[in-house]
Amino acid sequence: MKLAKFAASAALLTGLTIAPAAALSAYADDAAAAKESDAKPVARTGFMAALLGAKEFDFIGFMLWLALFGDGIAAIYFVVDCMILIRPEKIMPATLINNVQSAMAEGDVMKALTVCESEPGAMANILSAGFNHVTEGFDVIQESIGAAADLETERMMQRLTWISVCSNLAPMLGLLGTVEGMIGCFATLANGTPDVGELAGNISVALWTTAGGLVIAIPSITAFYAIRNNANRIILRMTALTMELIKGLRGVEVEQAEV
């Protein structure tokens, strides 16, 4: 898990450092070539035109693309993180369930509590909340387990929320790029007879940023709902299993040690 997070973080750092350096290097090469030939700047085409501007370096458009790259890498990181952590075997480990079942079959609540403390996790935290109130009655145990379950569910959903943030942010950044490109188009038209190359470059910026935002948003929102539905299924299973494990607490009494 730590290795996967480290790899994702390295990818994020690489994307935010190498991509700008490569883009600026390409811009510098074009400027040097134009200077040597004493000609007008060479018009760029395709994605490079959208990234750097059709003829002149577009700082705003470039920063928007950096934001889109960062958003896409962050979305990948959070998707991988959630896929690693939100799994049945991670939230409900079989060893924890088997050991708690064995302890409850023996009627040893303290042993079950020790098992939960030795294997921390979502389900262990929920069971621990119930076992810690075993002397206060079954109703209090159920309330404690319900409150702990709500807390663990919220923690899972907060982790998932970051995927949703990335998926919602991407099309907004793309839209901002579209607006910036259209502003450039109308500014060109306002100067009189438009330069066809510059006008096409501004339109290209608008279309490319929109496409970039959608390319990030569509997989991200799909992954968000898929992982969220999986998380909901796990939560339902965990709730049912927890209630089954504490069912024996109805008749369990814990003797208090004499001081």
Distance CA 93, CA 25 (A): 51
| Burial call 198-232: b when 16+ CB within 10 Å, e when fewer | bbbbbbbbbebbbebbeebbebbbebbeebbebbe
Q: Is 74 in contact with 84 (CB distance < 8 Å)?
A: no
**Is the model's pLDDT at 222 over the cut of 90?**
yes
pLDDT for the residue numbered 225: 93
The mean-pLDDT minimum among 8-12, 146-150, 157-161 falls in 8-12
| Mean predicted confidence (pLDDT) in 112-125 | 85
Write out pLDDT tens, residues 226-237.
999 999 998 888
What is the reported pLDDT for 25? 45
- Cα-based distances in Å from 128 to 107, 227, 242, 246: 16, 26, 11, 11
Can you give the pLDDT at residue 19?
46
Residue reference for tokens 């490319």? 208
Two tokens at 68?
């889109």
Predicted confidence (pLDDT) at residue 247 exceeds the cutoff of 60: yes
Residue 230's SS3 state is helix
Measured between alpha carbons, how far is 252 from 259 in angstroms, rounded to an integer?
22
Identify how many contiguous H helices and E strands the chain contains and give both numbers: 9, 0
Could you write out the three-class secondary structure of 53-117?
CCCCCCHHHHHHHHHHHHHHHHHHHHHHHHHHHCCHHHHCCHHHHHHHHHHHHCCCHHHHHHHHH
Q: Which residue has the higher pLDDT, 51 or 161?
A: 161
Report d(CA 162, CA 194) in Å as an integer.
Answer: 43
- The token pair at 180 is 């910036």
Greater confidence (186 vs 56) lies with: 186
Q: Alpha-carbon dihedral of residues 224, 84, 241, 256, nearest 10 degrees?
A: -120
Model-level pTM? 0.69
Residue 46 region, left (φ>0) first, then alpha (ψ -120 to 50), else beta? left
Spatial separation of the C-alpha atoms in residues 149 and 127, rounded to whole Å = 9
